[in-house]
């Protein structure tokens, strides 16, 4: 069944881009180095979501392999169907950008080229006749301190809206607790403190756990499984916000967290001066 869907997706893409596809060798999909084109790899690379048209999401990554930079893409391709919602299948491979052209080289499939336009955070992919085939929104780059904390505690699929500008707006040389330390503490408490996920899990029934795909998770791994499976999220509260109980963004790092499945949210409060104890509490 998967082979059929992949073939169907490939046919949809190739047919839609007729006249603009390329049969180039995958080995000849280099990084577009030394160019100022708007679709140069350094500008186009990133994660795109909220897709309309052919793609539900698209990730254009650059990675180092054996000392050389390579481009790799991963996408959820929407397969055309009679009745919505249409299914989306995973596809991956390599990509190459030059001028206004983005070419995808899916594994075991023919290459497909698009005319790409990146306007602010909106990426539009069109065929050779300038017909828009997909529109996606580029996601803001997640600060390394946030990705490090999520990776450290195995919650890499947690969503976040934290941007570097948010961190800079609240950073001060007088702070004794850095943002990196604060977000590390917030994620840890969310996954390990009885006032957060560990305290809520006993109230879940077997059906809820099964729907999250966490039926086989051990008691110790359950919080991490839920954080990765249920759309859990973390954000940094802004200066003009304040949580309903404790915490003050004027003097604390205050994070709002969600498990993505219940009506409960959580506030993690980490004093910037290091004098008080970090705390996390739930709200409804």
User: What are the residue ranges spanned by the domains of the chain?
Assistant: 2-138, 144-283
What is residue 122's predicted lDDT score, i.e. its pLDDT? 95
Strands, E assignment, 220-264: 233-236, 252-258
Give the Å distances, CA to CA, from 14 to 19, 107, 203. Answer: 9, 14, 49
- CB–CB of 105/94 below 8 Å? yes
- Is a pLDDT exceeding 80 seen at residue 20? no
Span of 31-40, 151-160, 179-188, 192-201 with lowest mean pLDDT: 31-40
Beta bridge partners of 269: 254, 279
- Is a pLDDT exceeding 90 seen at residue 147? yes
pLDDT digits (tens, 9 = 90+) for 72-118: 999 999 988 888 778 889 999 999 888 889 999 999 889 999 999 99
Closest by CA position to 153, among listed 212, 223, 258, 235? 223
**Three-class DSSP category at 207:** helix
**Three-class DSSP category at 187:** helix
Q: Which CATH architecture has domain 2-138?
A: Beta Barrel (2.40)
Determine what percent of the chain is predicted with pLDDT higher than 90: 54
């Amino acid at each position: 069944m998967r082979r059929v869907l992949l073939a169907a997706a490939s046919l949809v893409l190739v047919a839609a881009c007729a006249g603009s596809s390329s049969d180039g060798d995958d080995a000849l999909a280099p990084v577009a180095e030394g160019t100022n084109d708007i679709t140069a790899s350094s500008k186009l690379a990133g994660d795109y979501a909220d897709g309309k048209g052919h793609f539900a999401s698209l990730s254009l990554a650059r990675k180092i392999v054996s000392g050389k930079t390579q481009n790799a893409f991963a996408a959820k391709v929407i397969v055309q169907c009679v009745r919505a919602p249409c299914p989306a299948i995973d596809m991956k491979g390599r990509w190459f950008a030059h001028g206004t052209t983005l070419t995808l080289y899916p594994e075991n499939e023919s290459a497909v080229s698009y005319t790409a336009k990146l306007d602010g955070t909106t990426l539009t992919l069109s065929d050779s006749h300038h017909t828009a085939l997909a529109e996606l929104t580029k996601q803001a780059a997640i600060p390394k301190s946030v990705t490090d904390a999520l990776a450290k505690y195995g919650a890499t699929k947690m969503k976040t809206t934290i941007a570097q500008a948010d961190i800079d707006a609240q950073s001060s040389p007088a702070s004794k607790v850095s943002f990196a330390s604060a977000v590390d503490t917030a994620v840890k408490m969310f996954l390990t403190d009885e006032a957060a996920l560990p305290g809520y899990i006993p109230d879940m029934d077997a059906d809820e756990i099964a729907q999250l795909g966490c039926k086989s998770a051990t008691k110790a791994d359950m919080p991490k499984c839920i954080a990765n499976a249920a759309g859990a999220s973390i954000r940094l509260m802004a200066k003009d916000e304040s949580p309903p109980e404790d915490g003050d963004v004027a003097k604390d790092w205050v994070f709002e967290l969600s498990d993505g499945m219940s009506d409960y949210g959580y506030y993690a409060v980490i004093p910037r001066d290091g004098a008080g104890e970090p705390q996390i509490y739930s709200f409804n």
